[in-house]
Structure formats: C-alpha cells, structure tokens
Chain A
C-alpha cells in the first residue's frame, strides 16, 4: 500500500490515510459505534419482544419462576455493573487528559468488576442446574403455593420463563465476555501509552459498548428477578 499522493500534513500517527483529518476520523468511528449499538438494540429486541408476549400470557408462571431467582445475587451484580460503568466513564476522562497510570488502573478495575459479575452469574447458573430449573428433559419444578389461590400454574410453561432467562442472561454474559476481552486489549495499548488527548476514540467507543451492556442488565434485572415480589 502506498501513501496517498495528495496529502502531506503534519498529522497524528493514528490518523488513517483515507481520512482528511482526525476530526473526520473521530466522527466516523463514533457514528459507527452508535449504529452498531442500534443493531444491538434490535438484536436484544427480539428477545424482549418474546418476553413481553409470554409474560402477558403466562403471568403466574413467570412470577413463580422469578421467585426462584436469587434476588440478593442479582442486586449485588447490578451494583457491580453500575460501578463498572463509573470506572469506564472515568477512564474516558483519564484518556482525554492523557493520564496514563490512572487510565490503566481504571481499565483494570473495569475488567475486575466485569469478572466479578461473570463469577456471580456463574454461581447463579450453577444453582439452576442443581435445582433442575434448566429447560429440557431433566426440567423439574415444584410450584410453591401460588400468590393467589385461584391461579393455576402449568409447570411446562415455567420452562418458557427459564428459556428466556437463560437466553437473555446468557447472551448478555457473552457480551460481557467480549467487553472484558476488549478492555484487556485496550489496557495493553493504554499501558504502552497509545491514548492521549488527541486520540482516545477506542476508549470512548469501548465505553459506549460497555454502557450499553450495562443498560441491558438494568432492564434484565427487574424483568427477570422482580416479578411479583411484593409480600
């Protein structure tokens, strides 16, 4: 690949040569990330749509299934994720000011918080396997006394709740894994001092992604854990 014939400017080493200037490059990357997040909204949207319909149809089953989830672990995970969003937001700030050490620290903190979330999620999933609450041939559910005496609970339909639970939290967790991997790469480059006030788009875009994954959880937590929790 030869260089562009036209431009010889004093330009940032991070500038790719098909862009006219850094500003154009930054705007393009940013727009690209927002569009990608729009596709992610549609991707999760399919599952939220299924959730909406089935919850409307099978409310007693959803409530019964929801009550078996560990609200304590769910709440802790919510707090963990919100904290990680804070560290990400601060890391963008640190990158803008070119504070290398702070940036690396904050990125590592984000990764650790992400791993804590995934660990707790793993514990929750494992207990679901032990309780035979995983949809499939070995699924077994003993309905507790329903909240209203005249609502009947179909144990088969509770599988729909758990199917959605595993699909939604599973795909969310997959996004977390990807995010942790992304931040691991960024930490490496940040440690080498690649980001500064003139070039911090990768941190900003990874941050956007992380906030998005965070927001999905903010919806998942009440929708899955907090159905009919009133005493």
Chain B
C-alpha cells in the first residue's frame, strides 16, 4: 500500500473491529472481544426490557389505589422484572461482557481457552432470551422470580415451564462462561504472569466462575424438578403427597444466594482496577483484596438459609446461618477499607469511572450494612417481605453491581471501541444515576421499616409520599441510564480516537492498541512487574518478548 494514502493510521490499523465486516463475521466469530460485544448488545436489550417493567411497577405504586394495572398484571410485572434483571442482565452483565473482553487481555492470552464454547454460550443465552421473551409476550409468569412451590407447581396458570426452561438454558450459558474463565486463568497466563501478579479483576472473575460452576447446576436441577412436577406430575415438592416445599427453598437459595455474589464480585473487581488507576497508587493490601474475593465465594455458599428465617426452620439452624451471614461481612469490609486506604494520600483525578467507583463504595456499604440488619434474627422477623428487603438488595444489585458495571464500561470503553466518550457528560450521568438511585431506593428503607409489604399493587394512603419520591427517583434513574447509552453510541462514530492507554493505567490490556488486534498482542508478553505498579508507571516499560 502506498504510504501517502494512509490518512489516519489509527483507523487504518487492522484491529478486531475492522478485520472483517458483515453479519456472518459477527455471528460466527470465535473472537472473545467480538463475543463480548454480542453480549453487550443482548444484555442491554434485556436491561431495558427489565427496566420497562420496573417503571410500570413504580407507576402503579404512584397512587395508593390499584388503578394502573390489575393485581394479576402487577404480579407478572414484578416477576418478569426480577427474572429478566437477575438472569438476563445482572448475572451475565460483567462476566459475559467485560470479563469476556478482558480476561484474555489482562493475562496476556490470545483468546479464552475454548473460543467455540464461548460462542456457544452466547447462542444459549439467545435461545434462552427468545424463550423468555416468548413467555413474556404470551402471558407472562406470576410466581415471583423465586418460583416458590407449591404455587409455581400446582396453582399458577402462567408460563412457568417456559420461563423455567429459559432460566435453565441461560444458566447453562453461565456455566460454560465460568468454565472457560477458570480454565483460561489456570492454563493461558502469559509467561511471568504469576497468580500474585494477576489483576484483581481476574481474581474476582475467578471467584465468580467458581460460583457459576458449583451453584448454577443446583438451580438447574431445582427448576428441572419444578418443570417435571408441572409437566409430568412428579411430586417431589408437593405437600399433598408428602413432598416438602421448604426443600425447594433450600435448593433454590443454595444457588440464588451465591448468585448475589456472582453479581457483586465482578463489580468489586472493577472497583479494584479503577481506584488504584485514578489515585495513582498500588492497591492497599493486594493479597487481602484477592483472598477476600475467594472468601466471599466460599462463605457465600454457607449462608443461603438466611432467606428462610421465617419459613419454618429450626431455631438452631437459624442461629448458625445468622452467624455465618455476619461472617460474609468480614471479607466485604476488608475490600471497602482497602479501597479507602488506597485513596488515602493518592493523587486523585475525579474522572467518570472513579465517580462510579465512589458511588459503588458508598452504596455497597449501605447495602451491606442493611444486610446485617436482615441477618439478625430478631430484626429479620420484623422486616421480612417488606420494602426494607427490596431497598437492601437494590442497594447491592443496582447501587453496587450496576454502578460497578457502568464504571467499568466507562473505564474500558476506549479499549473496547477505540474512542473516547465525552467526559463532562459522563460525569453528569454518573451524578444523575447516583441521585436518581438514592431517591428511588432510600425511601423504600423507610417504607419497609414502617411495614409496607413487598409484592402488593396497592397500599394504605399514609405511604404515598415516600412512594411518590421513589417513583420520581426512578424516572431520574432512567435518564441516567439512557444518557451513557446515547453518548456511547455517539462516540463510536464521533468520539475522539483513544490512545492505547488513555488513563495511564497499569495492566497488560493497556499495552496493546485500542481497539486491540484480533490476537490481542503482536507478541506474547513476558511479565516482569507486579500488578498495579503505579510507583514505577512513568518509567519506560519495555515489554520483553518471549520467543
């Protein structure tokens, strides 16, 4: 090629986005970076479907009377909001998008260990998504996202089998993603990338993948048994034949409590990347933060029955589960303290990703502390099944997981797209999300404490002021979510071209061009430095080459 024709070397350079064009090159790709973008598009779709249900719920609750929708419709709204948000957005969000994109890049690999299985997991997600949307559009489900028996097996007249099948399949997609990550992290690390040099995002992905592998199959068999009970009249959870609905709850929460950590651990990993970068310091207590991820994953498997304190459990079992639930707070607190200690005396830049990280730290702390209220047996009896619980887990899942996800999307967007997003608009959106979030969910803590139960479509008039606040907040939150989507799309065409390392961040993913070439690195890197080496970041770093 004639050098004179190269107008812009950045756009001309071959990368994973421009190497091939056309629908086929996307739908049959085995490149982890392209699969990440396929996931990004799909989970964004489901985020807005789930969000639409959330807005309808909030609109119904604007007035005390049940006027916008019928009780039956309301049941379906909160069920499908929960199922779509949990299984089709939150669980796959960070692992399948940012994890898929970053795991090979961060450890210096050319791809995940099983690229075709990676593509298969996206197709499974899409099959599950079609099943779920079909269930939604042909009548919906009204069991609550928890599928509690015997209502789901014997009484509900809605699309339980279809939704159960959808979640079974999407679970299989998560299992394959987790399996791919574990094998990749074990077997594909670049020379010199030892376990204690891994970025903390990788540690959190590893912990998440362990939960995927050990938790999701239990959900799969539980839903299978529910489906068998509806379809073939087996009676494993049927009390009229001696079956025990509580067994269903135990099995369900054995997955679904660790699933909370599937949602929050990846966000914690992102925060551990953002905080050192924008305070220009090595993370405080690297090994403690890493081991806290593993600790959360392990302890997370031992606390499930705190969802069942009022369901009729032995008081001694409840005591033990209460104690173990408190224990989970220890590794969580280690992380929060270490992030704070990292910020201490750092040279802080208040960029968009860091604003989301601040939001995460504050909101996660509130969500975590109110979780301790719920782990306390006496308090739990008072606030079970009230809006206090709703507010608590939204602080973790929306205030924590989604904040982390958005922070990570902003942090790595230059790497993913090769373009910069508008910084001032980014900061504005982060602020809007923070304000909207708190206005939506803080009133729900008070509502719950005053005794407003969850899952009702009408309520006594004295609760209206707080509900109006919450609904108002949810519209602000919606604006905060639409804004990044708009400017991300805008930046893909009009954004400034990104440097390989626009933030001056440490980590292998920043040592390759933005966007990266198909095989990630021109040469396999040889790692000779520690993670978060911000003390020496300004020294010229020659990437020594193996072979």
Contact mask A73-109 → B, CB, 8 Å, 1/0? 0000000000000000000000000000000000000
Most buried by A among B19, B213, B235: B235
Which of the segments B39-47, B143-151, B242-250 contacts the partner chain?
B242-250
Contacts of A36 in B (CB 8 A): 179
Per the bound structure, the CA–CA distance linking A35 and B214 in Å amounts to 9
Apart from A18-B111, A18-B188, what 8 extra A-B contacts exist at CB < 8 Å? A4-B110, A18-B109, A18-B110, A31-B183, A31-B186, A36-B179, A160-B241, A163-B243
Q: Is the CB of B213 within 8 A of A43?
A: no
Closest to A137 in B: B233
Q: A4-B110, A160-B236, A166-B234 are in contact. Are A43 and B220 (CB under 8 A)?
A: yes
A42-B214, A43-B218, A47-B221 as given contacts; A4 in contact with B519, CB under 8 Å: yes
Q: Which 10 A-B pairs have the closest CB atoms?
A: A136-B233, A46-B221, A43-B217, A163-B234, A157-B242, A42-B217, A18-B111, A18-B110, A28-B113, A28-B187
Q: Which residue of B lies closest to A23 (CB)?
A: B187
- 30 pairs of residues in contact across A and B, judged by CB atoms under 8 Å: A2-B518, A4-B519, A5-B522, A7-B547, A16-B115, A17-B110, A28-B114, A28-B183, A28-B187, A31-B182, A31-B186, A32-B179, A32-B183, A36-B179, A39-B214, A39-B217, A40-B217, A42-B213, A42-B215, A50-B236, A50-B251, A58-B242, A135-B233, A135-B234, A159-B241, A160-B241, A160-B242, A163-B236, A164-B236, A171-B224
Question: How many Å lie between the Cα of A166 and that of B233 in the bound state?
Answer: 11
CB-defined contacts of B247 to chain A, threshold 8 Å: 49-50, 53
Contact A35-B182, Cβ < 8 Å, known A6-B547, A156-B242, A157-B242 = yes
A40 / chain B contacts, CB cutoff of 8 Å? 217
B241, A156: Cβ atoms under 8 Å?
Answer: yes
Task: Tell me, yes or no, whether B202 is within 8 Å of chain A by CB.
Answer: no
Q: Which residue of A lies closest to B220 (CB)?
A: A43
The interface residues of chain B, by DSSP majority, are classed as helix
Indicate whether A120 reaches chain B with its CB closer than 8 angstroms: no
Binary flags per residue of B8-43, CB closer than 8 Å to A gives 1, else 0? 000000000001100000000011000000000000
- B517 closest partner in A (C-beta): A5
Instruction: Tell me which residues across on chain B come within 8 A of A5, comparing CB atoms.
Output: 519, 522
**Which residues of chain A are within 8 angstroms of B524 by Cβ–Cβ distance?**
6, 20
- Give the distance in Å from the alpha carbon of A47 to the alpha carbon of B214 in the complex: 15
Query: Is A145 interfacial (CB-CB < 8 Å)?
Result: no
Interchain CA distance A35-B175 in the complex, whole Å: 10
**Complex Cα spacing A157 to B225, Å:** 17
- How far is B228's CA from A114's CA once the two chains are assembled, in angstroms? 25
A50 to B252, CA, bound (A): 12
Within 8 Å CB of B188, what residues of A?
Answer: 18, 24, 28
Say yes or no for B314: interface residue by CB 8 A criterion. Answer: no
Assembled-state Cα–Cα distance A120/B18 (Å) = 56
Nearest A residue to B30 by beta-carbon distance? Answer: A1
- Nearest B residue to A163 via CB reads B234
Known: A6-B547, A28-B113, A38-B213. A136 touches B175 (CB 8 A): no
Q: Residue B235 contacts which of A1, A39, A135 (CB distance < 8 angstroms)?
A: A135
User: Which A34-72 residues sit within 8 Å CB-CB of chain B?
Assistant: 35-36, 38-40, 42-47, 49-50, 53-54, 57-58, 61
Which among A2, A50, A157 has the highest number of chain B CB atoms within 10 Å?
A50
Q: Hey, what's the 0/1 contact readout for B223-239 against A, CB within 8 Å counting as 1?
A: 01100110011111000
* Chain A contacts for B187, CB-based, 8 A: 24, 27-28, 31
Shortest distance in angstroms between B60's beta carbon and chain A's nearest beta carbon? 36
A154 proximal to B (CB < 8 A)? yes
Contact with A along B96-117 (1 / 0, CB 8 A): 0000000000000111011100
A164 vs B242: C-alpha distance in the bound complex, in angstroms?
13
Query: Which A residue's beta carbon lies closest to that of B29?
Result: A1
Contact residues in B for A58 (Cβ distance below 8 Å): 242
A-side contacts of B218, CB under 8 Å = 42-43, 45-46
Q: CB < 8 Å: which of B19, B113, B115 contacts A2? A: B19
Tell me whether B240 is interfacial, beta carbon within 8 Å: yes
Tell me the A residues contacting B by CB distance below 8 Å. Answer: 1-2, 4-7, 16-18, 20, 24, 27-28, 31-32, 35-36, 38-40, 42-47, 49-50, 53-54, 57-58, 61, 135-137, 154, 156-157, 159-160, 163-164, 166-167, 171
Measured between beta carbons, the chain B residues less than 8 angstroms from A6 are 519, 522-524, 547
- Out of B179, B215, B217, B225, which one reaches A167, CB within 8 Å? B225
In the bound complex, how far is the Cα of B46 from the Cα of A120, in angstroms? Answer: 45
Minimum C-beta distance from B453 to chain A (A): 31
* CA distance in complex: A99, B339 (Å): 59
Q: Is the CB of A46 within 8 A of B234?
A: no
Chain A residues with CB under 8 Å of B243's CB are 54, 160, 163
In the bound complex, CA of A61 to CA of B224 (Å) = 24
- Nearest Cβ in chain A — how far from B240, in angstroms? 7
CA distance A117 to B200 in the complex (A): 49
Shortest Cβ distance from A4 into B: residue: B519
Q: How far is the CA of A57 from the CA of B241 in the complex (A)?
A: 13
A49 vs B522: C-alpha distance in the bound complex, in angstroms? 51
Q: Is the CB of A166 within 8 A of B113?
A: no
Does B251 lie within 8 Å of A49, measured CB to CB?
Answer: yes
B386 at interface, CB cutoff 8 A: no
B175 nearest in chain A by CB position: A39
Within 8 A of A (CB), among B237-273: 240-244, 247, 251
- Which B residues are CB-close (under 8 A) to A54? 236, 242-244
User: What is the CB-to-nearest-CB distance from B167 to chain A, in angstroms, rounded to a whole number?
Assistant: 14
Bound CA–CA A5/B214 (angstroms): 38
B102: min CB distance to chain A, Å: 16
| Chain B residues within 8 Å of A154, by CB | 242
B229 and chain A: residue at smallest CB distance: A163
B186: which A residues are within 8 A, CB to CB? 28, 31
Residues of chain B in range 171-223 having any CB-CB distance to chain A below 8 Å = 175, 179-180, 182-184, 186-188, 213-218, 220-222
Contact between chains at A46 and B225 (CB < 8 Å): yes
Nearest-neighbour CB distance to chain B for A24, whole angstroms, equals: 6
By the criterion CB–CB under 8 Å, are A32 and B113 in contact? yes
In the complex, how many angstroms separate the beta carbon of B172 from the nearest chain A beta carbon? 9
Beta-carbon contacts under 8 Å, B443-484 to A: none
B229 neighbours in A (Cβ, 8 Å): 163
Question: What is the bound-complex CA distance between A20 and B222, given in angstroms?
Answer: 40
| Residues of chain A with a CB closer than 8 A to B184's CB | 28
CA distance A197 to B241 in the complex (A): 56
